[in-house]
A and B are shown apart, each in its own frame.
Chain A
Amino acid sequence: MEYEPVIGMEVHVELQTESKMFCGCKVDFGGEPNTRCCPVCLGLPGSLPVVNRRAVALMAKAALALNCVVAPQCIFHRKNYYYPDLPKNYQISQYDYPLGVNGFVEITVNGKTKKIAIRRVHMEEDTGKLLHVEGGRSLIDYNRSGVPLMEIVTLNPPPPGLDQIESAEEAREYLQRLRQILVYLDVSDCKMEEGSMRCEPNISIRPKGQVEFGTKTEIKNLNSFRAVYLGVDYEIRRQERVLREGEQVVQETRRWDDVRGVTSSMRSKEFEQEYRYFPDPDLVPIQFSDEFLDKLRAELPELPGQIIRRFVDEYGVSKEDAEILADTRELATFFDACARGSRDPKAVANWIQGEFLRLVNATGTAIADAKVTPEGLRELLDMVDVGTINRNTAKNVFDEMFRTGRTAADIVKIKGLEQVSDSGTIESVIDKVIAGNPNEVERFRAGEERLMGWFVGQVMRETKGKANPGIVNKMLAEKLKG
């Protein structure tokens, strides 16, 4: 029997706000334990939460970017459960009136594009962090307590026109596209390693063609995109093995072990946990006016999907190139500024993906901090296009631009690197090379045509690489044939 997997994704993202969700404490990663908390995020008796309006606006914006319908009114509920990292023993979250519903994220895997359905986007507060130390003791750091969290949950089965995640590749791709959008929006830095993006996928498999879902398991402790891929893939295979052996999949939470590359049972989840949700009487419902939502929509930056389409249409680059160029907002902005008004946008695309990213990655430079400006790069490439310098020279000039921040024109002028296209000058060099290497000329004429490259090299060396390679090639070919 053939099985097909269905994967649901529950993703939590920590917001990059100045202050926490319900108090004025600073949001920051790390720091001395319990230095960023106050009566509110410690849940001290009598303290009351006050909604961080900036956080709400940011999440509403994210919900719009995820194609969700943002509810005109949303309500905070209390999710009641006991845990030492939860100072009030309830979490302020959302229940039946979430911020946004019915959205989607577009993904492309193996050339196939899918719109992954999103059930809901809601707001909540983060918990503190438990630290187990020797002697069976536990310490708690409440710095993270009350940090704004956004929860994004997929919808299975998807409504007509939308899709669900059906492989580990798609799961990873979904997460990466989601991350890309949220990073574009400055909602979050989405660092899985630091926990500002957390993902708990649930996986079930069913015989191909069956409508009902199989029993699902949930995976925790996935701290990288790679782990998400490996964990989901492992779990699909494990469930297949279980079913093929005639056993039943147990509904449970499983923990991913990154070192051993396996999942193992954490706790069974046979019954729904009782959270006793009820509207938080300390908070008033949030109302969004049409004007407010319109304003948020207007503030939405151009998102990766739109940018890719525009790069293809406007600059004639391939979809694959556009996807790389739109990977981050910084890179897309750089390319956009460089390609706009360029004589050859495709050359710009190639150069950025090649030379530029090579140097950025090799030196660990942030794009925003690069000394080369988009205008500077455009100037350089235009010099190649009009023949002022050749491509090889351009690479050396670019290295120097990247290192020093000087302009291409400056470097070319000071070093005298202008390309030599004057046929008289080139002809005299070629004559000199032919005259000085009679053996090679002999061998070439005897049919050893691959010596052509060697002759070009000699000419280039004589001209310090400045000769126009087109003219050199053409003229050499004529002269060598005799």
Chain B
Amino acid sequence: MSLKVESTPQTDVLAPPPLRLIDDTGHAVAESESGGFTLPPVETLLGLYRQMVMARRFDVQVTALTRQGRLATYPSALGQEGCEIASVASLAPQDWLFPTYRDSIALLTRGVEPKDILAAFRGDWHSGYDYRKFHIAPQATPLATQALHAVGLATASKLKRDDTVALTLLGDGATSEGDAHEAFNFAAVWQAPVVFVVQNNQFAISVPLDKQMACRTIADKAIGYGMPGYYVDGNDVAAMYAVVSAAMDRARNGGGPTLIEGLTYRIEAHTNSDDPTRYRKSADVDLWRSRDPIERLEKYLVAQGALTDELNAEILAAAEELATTTRDCMTEQAVIDPLELFEHVYSTPRASLAEQRAFLAAELADDAAASALISEESTR
């Protein structure tokens, strides 16, 4: 008898088609192909459409501001609105979101003001919104570390017998990190009420997914952890919303974690300092532009008679207003007191930090005195 377990690399096995409820051409798929999920009601889809349009406009505006050199950096989520907006729309008010640096539009959709989202990217502080009000953790920069925080918070909710669920957004590259593995495993072992949404935008900066893993899909990995996994068309916001909402419900009702992979594409560069022409063909980008999540839903809603020209114009006008607000908030630069650098490191005051704070305060006072002297002399 052989104890050998058959386990051949699956690289030559094609991935199945991702689950979708509305196809590329904007038509609802047949019920037999919808994996047991139901198309959300038109009112819900209209709401998702509006949020995607707003998010897109914000993203384009912030990218423009970054190109003008007014922000230190901005990782765009252009093209990923289906995953982002479906995830946020699936949250109940008590739920917590654990986003990454690429998920600024998720923050926007949950109600964070543009000026507070941009605080970190324009360099005011490392993060700048009200975490407890919005139930959003700081945007994580190290990869996959926030997934463990989400599992911990979800487990605490379970221990307290609350109905709070945590949702964390991850990228495809992040699934190679040990912390992603530990998060999936802890969540499954502890049956934590947490949902992992992996946005497979196909590149980790420049490295394609086939250099990250040898299995068919990221969703396939779920079986190894003992949790449900779903491979979804991430550019079909209807499918993403149906699957993520169902996973949130299951988590809330004691059914444990779910791993959801949304297949999508990062249309923009990784950040403004990246040059994607070095690692991908423009034809690929064009192909994915043609699979745009907003256009797809627009076609469907127009065909349903739910999205009139008038309504669309109203939504676009609201998006323009948001762009204006976003531009305007850049002119109101926050004034940060350098002495605040010492305020938040510890809750218990430290003598050594008080000394260093006094040192900086003296330097600032000297600088101010010198500037005053110079301006006095120049006016003489």
Partners in one complex: no
